Amino acid sequence: MSDNVAETQAVPTELYGCPMIISLNQRVLLVARDKYVAVMKALLDDTFDLCVDLTAVDYLLMPTRVVGAGIKPERFEVVVSVMSMQKHERLRLRVQVPADDATLDTLFDVHPGTEALEREVFDMFGIIFNGHPDPTRILMPEDWDGYPLRKDYDYGRIPVQFKGSPA
């Protein structure tokens, strides 16, 4: 990767049919929801065989942020990091997910190791992964109401009592 990132950052290019930007010296693909699984399969065929991480972000308080390359920002963003062991390269994917249809196809058939990661994203953000083999909570109790990492989640308050303090 070039040391002169500022030049490449000014002109987005494409990779696998998706706009690509450079962020923190790493290539980032801005993937449309409907191309998500197809792009992941193409990456797998191109030796990006390790899915390092899958998580999400709630941008409720930043609705007018700039995503890049003319991509419309949505409330949620699923972020996937993949790595090519053969090429010694990392690549990040960012997928915009709207609040009124917080769904995305599962990567389980492409990367079985994403099973627990997708469950965590569902559990914390409420994003449903279509076709997931076990779409249940993994961190919170099954009867828990809400999604704790959403910016509009009322976190409540648990009083802390210290030893020796009046109750």
Selected residue with higher pLDDT from 50 and 2:
50
CB-neighbour burial class of residue 22 (10 A; exposed 0-12, middle 13-18, buried 19+): buried
Dist CA 52 CA 94 (whole Å): 14
pLDDT tier at 159, thresholds 50, 70, 90 = low
Give pLDDT, residue 4: 45
Q: All domains of the chain, ordered by start, with CATH?
A: 5-130 (3.30.460.80)
Q: What is the DSSP letter of 95?
A: E
Give the bridge partners for 14, in sequence order.
19
Q: Give pLDDT tens digits for 69-104.
A: 889 999 999 999 999 999 999 999 999 999 999 999
| C-alpha distance from residue 71 to each of 59, 60, 67 (Å) | 14, 17, 6
Q: Give pLDDT tens digits for 106-139.
A: 999 999 999 999 999 999 999 999 999 999 999 9
Dist CA 134 CA 119 (whole Å): 8
Sort strands 18-23 and 26-31 into parallel, antiparallel or unpaired. antiparallel
- How many angstroms from the chain centroid is the CA of residue 111? 15
**Number of H-type helices and E-type strands within the chain:** 3, 8
Question: Given a cut of 70, is residue 8 above it in pLDDT?
Answer: no
Mean pLDDT to the nearest integer, 43-56:
97
| Nearest Cα residue to 96 out of 111, 82, 108, 79 | 79
- Which pTM value belongs to this model? 0.86
Mean pLDDT to the nearest integer, 33-60:
98
